[in-house]
Amino acid sequence: MLSSNRGTVEDFFLAGRNLAWWSIGTSLFVSNVGIGHLVALAGTAATSGIAVVAVEWSAPFLLCVLGWIFSPIYVKAGVVTMPEYLRKRFGSRRIQFLLAILYLFLYIFNRVSVEISTGAMVMGVIFDWDVYQATIFFLTFISIYTISGGFATVIYIDALHAGVVVLGSVLLMGFAFKEVGGYQELPHAYLNAKPSIIHEGNWTAKPECYLPRLDSFHIFRDHITGDLPWPGIVFGISIISLYYWCTDQG
């Protein structure tokens, strides 16, 4: 990692195409599962139930599609980025430029901003930091190791990140189950959980905003009344996941 050449585009963005399989696997894992998932998806599950797991359920199948169909095409084309592939595929630099601008816009205002803000909030809770201090720390630290080391450094940092995420998630799950009395008690405790404060001043929360859904422990929900209807889970999320896992530049 420290001695690899960073003098070419291939070295910087692809680590010279010389990475171990386990490092690629851990990088794929933590590129998908980050602090945004631990905070946002957990929060969504707490408010609406377990159906949110459907966002991830197609990942194993689509990673096989990535490995068997998409990756050989990318390797044969000799491309580094998706905009570059589209330029070679359709012969237009305009497509390459527009897609690059679109990716930058989406990542800055959607992906990166969410990850940084949620990470800053967590760091603020743990270390009692101001959210702006935590944000500056994150941006500085990430910029230094990414710009100086390229993709190889990112890969090895991701491997460390994967260990922290897995260990932390397992410990959190254990403490959570212990707190509610085990998984057998979870459905009962969840369906009877109510906030202690539902009104303040002239404001009163509507019951549907704080009472648990009756279908909280159902993944496939009614196509009319469900907040995550089953057609969207089966068809809609699969299409989005195909883009996310096989063509997303993030």
* Ordered per-residue pLDDT tens for the chain, 250 residues: 444 555 666 666 666 677 778 888 888 788 777 777 778 888 888 888 888 888 778 888 888 998 899 999 998 998 878 899 999 988 888 989 998 898 888 888 877 888 888 888 888 888 888 888 888 888 888 888 788 777 778 888 888 888 888 898 899 889 989 988 888 888 888 888 888 888 888 888 888 778 888 888 998 999 898 888 999 888 888 888 888 888 886 6
Residues 63, 242: Cα–Cα separation, whole Å: 9
Report the 10 Å Cβ neighbour count for 29: 16
16: left (phi over 0), alpha (psi -120 to 50) or beta: left
Beta bridge partners of 221: 229
Domain ranges of the chain: 33-185+229-248
Residues 6+ positions from 4 with CB-CB distance below 8 Å = 11, 15, 16, 18, 150, 152
Among candidate residues 167, 133, 160, 125, the one with its CA nearest the CA of residue 145: 160
Residues counted in the chain: 250
Question: Can you give the pTM of this predicted structure?
Answer: 0.70
Question: In the prediction, which pLDDT does 227 show?
Answer: 86
